């Protein structure tokens, strides 16, 4: 009896998940609109751009460079940021994540999320998310500024030890 009940339960569970409608691109885009994804991504990308350029300048020893060398380092940082911006534009990200949303969410789940994000509480959360993302990216950049020199030191020490072990 227990085995039969379990088999019926599993069959119902499988049928339920099989009947869940795959989310349409139109609904995914609507969800992204009401959940303020663009503003959140824009804020994150601005911070990522700054972090990339700062990390590039730091890795080039910017503080110890002369003016001519600093200009070259700044140009390299700007080129890296341009590549990042081209590859992380909103449209490029949307193309990348649409399949993820399709695989992850059902039509019904996105409809419920859209309903929530259209409510006063959801709108309030939406307004705060870019600030949270911005603060999170700043925190990440601060941590990176502390740990990247340590990583570089480890790499240099390892390279020297490898060189000496020949």
- Residue 106 maps to a domain: yes
Q: What is the percentage of the chain residues whose pLDDT exceeds 70?
A: 89
Q: How many domains does the chain have?
A: 1
Arithmetic mean of pLDDT, 3-14: 45
The C-alpha atoms of residue 116 and residue 51 are separated, in whole angstroms, by 34
- Residue 164 maps to a domain: no
The C-alpha atoms of residue 90 and residue 45 are separated, in whole angstroms, by 9
- Residue 145 maps to a domain: no
The parent domain of residue 117 ranges over 23-137
86 pLDDT band, cuts 50/70/90, is confident
Backbone dihedral angles phi then psi of residue 165, each to the nearest 5 degrees: -85, 0
- Residue 143 maps to a domain: no
- Residue 150 maps to a domain: no
Structure-token pair, residue 85: 């911006």
Structure-token pair, residue 30: 């609507």
- Residue 17 maps to a domain: no
> What pLDDT, on a 0 to 100 scale, did the predictor assign at position 145?
87
Q: Taking Cα atoms as reference points, which of 11, 26, 17 lies closest to residue 114?
A: 26
71 pLDDT band, cuts 50/70/90, is very high
Arithmetic mean of pLDDT, 5-16: 45
165 pLDDT band, cuts 50/70/90, is confident
Arithmetic mean of pLDDT, 65-80: 93
Query: The pTM is what?
Result: 0.59
- Residue 158 maps to a domain: no
- Residue 117 maps to a domain: yes
């Amino acid at each position: 009896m227990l085995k039969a009940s379990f088999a019926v339960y599993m069959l119902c569970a499988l049928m339920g998940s099989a009947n869940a409608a795959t989310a349409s691109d139109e609904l995914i885009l609507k969800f992204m609109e009401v959940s303020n994804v663009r503003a959140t991504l824009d804020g994150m990308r601005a911070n990522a751009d700054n972090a990339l350029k700062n990390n590039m300048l730091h890795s080039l020893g910017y503080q110890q460079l002369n003016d001519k060398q600093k200009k070259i380092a700044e140009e390299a940082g700007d080129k890296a940021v341009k590549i990042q911006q081209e590859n992380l534009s909103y449209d490029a990200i949307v193309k990348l994540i649409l399949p993820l949303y399709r695989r992850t969410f059902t039509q019904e789940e996105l409809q419920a999320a859209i309903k929530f994000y259209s409510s006063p509480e959801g709108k309030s959360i939406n307004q705060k998310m870019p600030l949270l993302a911005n603060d999170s990216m700043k925190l990440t950049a601060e941590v990176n500024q502390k740990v990247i020199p340590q990583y570089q030191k480890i790499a240099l020490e390892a390279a020297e030890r490898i060189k000496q072990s020949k």
